[in-house]
Amino acid sequence: MVSGAPVWITRAQPGAAATAQRVAALGFRPVVDPLLAIEPSLAKIDLSGIAALAFTSANGVEGFARCNARRDLPVFTVGAATAKAAKDAGFAHAFSAEGDVEALERLIIDARPGPVLWAGAQAPAGDLVAALRAQGLEARGVAVYATVERAPSPATLALLDAPLSVLVHSPRAARALGRILAGRDHGDLRLLCLSPAVAAPLDKIAEPRFVASAPRPDESALLQLLDA
Are 125 and 198 within 8 A, CB to CB? no
Query: What is the reported pTM?
Result: 0.82
Q: Which domain holds residue 85?
A: 39-147
Q: In terms of domains, do 30 and 50 share one?
A: no
- Give the whole-number percent of the chain exceeding pLDDT 70: 96
Do 140 and 52 sit in the same domain of this protein? yes
Mean pLDDT, rounded, for 196-216? 82
Same domain, 100 and 156: no
What is the count of structural domains for the chain?
2
State whether 60 and 135 are in the same domain.
yes
Same domain, 181 and 204: yes
Q: Based on the fold, state whether residues 125 and 156 are members of the same structural domain.
A: no
Q: What is the number of other CB atoms lying within 10 angstroms of the CB of residue 11? A: 22
pLDDT at residue number 188: 82
Instruction: Specify which residues 143 forms β-bridges with.
Output: 120
Cα distance between residue 144 and residue 106, in whole Å: 24
pLDDT in tens, 94-135: 999 988 899 999 999 999 999 999 999 998 878 999 999 999
Spatial strand order of the sheet with 211-213 comes to 29-32, 6-9, 164-168, 189-193, 211-213
Whether residues 96 and 173 fall in one domain: no
Specify whether 139 is located in the same domain as 156: no
Average model confidence (pLDDT) across the chain: 92
Query: Sorting pLDDT into bands at 50, 70 and 90, what band is 207?
Result: low
Q: Do 136 and 160 form a contact (C-beta atoms < 8 A)?
A: no
Whether residue 166 lies inside any domain: the answer is yes
In a shared domain, residues 194 and 172 = yes
> Could you tell me if residue 1 is inside a domain?
no
